Amino acid sequence: MKYDFDAVLDRTKNFAAKYDEVGKKFGRDDLIPLWVADMDFKVAQPITEAIQKRAEQGIFGYTSRPDSYFQSIQEWLTKQHGWTTDTKLMLHCPGVVPFLSMMIQYFTQPGDRIIIQSPVYYPFFDVVKSNGRTLVENPLKLVNGHYEMDYDHLEEVAKKGAKFLILCSPHNPIGRVWKKEELLRLGNICLAHGIRVIADEIHGDLVFSGHKHVPFSMLSEEFAKNTFTCIAPSKTFNLAGLQASITIFPNEEDRNKFDQILGDLDIRRNNCFSVVATEAAYRYGEEWLEQVKEYIEGNFTFIQDYCQKNIPQIQPNFPEGTYLLWIDCRDLGMNKDELHSFMIDEVGIALDDGFWFGDAYEGYMRLNAACPRSIIAEALTRWKNAIEKRVRSSTFK
């Protein structure tokens, strides 16, 4: 079927965090919310039908997980990425961030070093620091407008030891889809220094023209034995509110240890809707996914063209993966507080500030492009008008 992604849906009664929490986060309720990373699109029809059918049963007790659940994930990974996985090494978790926090809490000791590659999804910082571990940044390098891994620096910090490296692949917020050669080099450094890898591949299905996601664990048997891979239907199919993710463990010992942790916390089970929605997504959601990727890529092109013609003071990237744009606003000549206030009080858009992704990234913003194009057009028009108003008043040139 043909899906309509231009339709503007009223989410004000949807209990949507992106909308309902704008005032709390930014101090105003009248902003266009392009921050929280979920989509403003209805999900694939087979997912809705599966949830409706489950709801009609009228009983919502403790929920078991059929074998077909993990089998659908296994089949999806094989078809989409050529990665043959073992369902016996899979576990459900309420989300990737809870998994990261539990891994750090139970698989490391206070003070252990954890490496992340900034600018990166800001909960990575939080789960390390809040658990009393030592955060080690291996910043990405910006080379001719293109972010690359800094392997020399990674070698330096790896020599000092680390328990884990958290890999974001595809990378949030810069939208890189790492090439096989890049991942091999990183993986070999980690192996050489006894560093285990947690691969957050939650955006792995959201990859655009000319690029291909390479699951880190499929690169070699050694990598597979050294890696915890996190995936979820939440980004791919817009199901974050159902709180279901999947971890693929390197061995049964680690899998069983984590399963015991989930049992101690009594969070082993899916909720009754996430079971049927996840399986429906992976079995029947491909048609919707291909259409939504085409639409989002069109949004990227629209944003690029609009900014080049109307707002040359800002430079959005063109993501290889994810639906998130990393926008360089440094030519506006504002510090982080000035840019934050400008976007809220003069532009009227809620974006993620660049410094949330690392202290060194003030002057950048992250924009979520997974929404109807008319909303993006209104947001960019507001941005253009606010800049032109400042130019006319000689606040900046």
Q: pLDDT, tens digit, for every residue of 109-166?
A: 999 999 999 999 999 999 999 999 999 999 999 999 899 999 999 999 999 999 999 9
Strand order in the sheet with 245-248: 90-93, 245-248, 227-231, 196-200, 164-168, 113-116, 134-137
Report the relative pairing of strands 352-353 and 364-368 from DSSP bridges: antiparallel
Residues 165-176, buried b or exposed e (16+ Cβ, 10 A)?
bbbbbbbbbbbb
What is the average per-residue pLDDT within 171-197? 98
| CA separation for the pair 89, 73 (Å, rounded) | 12
- Cβ atoms of residues 143 and 195 within 8 Å: no
CA distances 326 to 21, 146, 265, Å, are 22, 11, 37
pLDDT above 70 as % of the chain: 99
Residue type, 208: F
Phi, psi of 114 (to 5 degrees): -125, 125
Q: How many CB atoms lie within 10 A of CB 336?
A: 16
Q: pLDDT, tens digit, for every residue of 232-286?
A: 999 999 999 999 999 999 999 999 999 999 999 999 999 999 999 999 999 999 9
What is the average per-residue pLDDT within 328-344? 97
Is the pLDDT at 9 greater than 60? The verdict is: yes
Spatial neighbors of 76 by CB under 8 A, at least 6 apart, are 282, 283
The domain spans of the chain are 17-44+286-390, 61-284
At the topology level, CATH places domain 61-284 in Aspartate Aminotransferase; domain 2 (3.40.640)
The mean pLDDT value of the chain amounts to 97
At the topology level, CATH places domain 17-44+286-390 in Aspartate Aminotransferase, domain 1 (3.90.1150)
Positive or negative CA dihedral for 114, 118, 123, 126?
positive
Q: pLDDT, tens digit, for every residue of 33-67?
A: 999 999 999 999 999 999 999 999 999 999 999 99
Helices and strands in the chain: count of H runs, count of E runs: 15, 15
Determine the distance from the C-alpha atom of residue 25 to the mean position of all C-alpha atoms in its chain, rounded to a whole number: 20
H helix runs in 193-271, sequence order: 221-224, 233-237, 252-264
What is the average per-residue pLDDT within 67-76? 98
Asked if the domains 17-44+286-390 and 61-284 are classified in one and the same CATH topology, the answer is no
| CA separation for the pair 89, 151 (Å, rounded) | 30
| CA separation for the pair 201, 370 (Å, rounded) | 18
Provide the pLDDT for residue 393.
83
What is the average per-residue pLDDT within 369-380? 98
Spatial neighbors of 87 by CB under 8 A, at least 6 apart, are 67, 70, 71, 73, 74
Determine the distance from the C-alpha atom of residue 350 to the mean position of all C-alpha atoms in its chain, rounded to a whole number: 18
Q: pLDDT, tens digit, for every residue of 385-395?
A: 999 999 888 75
Determine the distance from the C-alpha atom of residue 349 to the mean position of all C-alpha atoms in its chain, rounded to a whole number: 20
Provide the pLDDT for residue 396.
58
Provide the pLDDT for residue 145.
87
Provide the pLDDT for residue 238.
98
Nearest Cα to Cα of residue 346 among 36, 11, 19, 26: 26
Is the pLDDT at 222 greater than 90? The verdict is: yes
pTM: 0.96
Is the pLDDT at 397 greater than 60? The verdict is: no
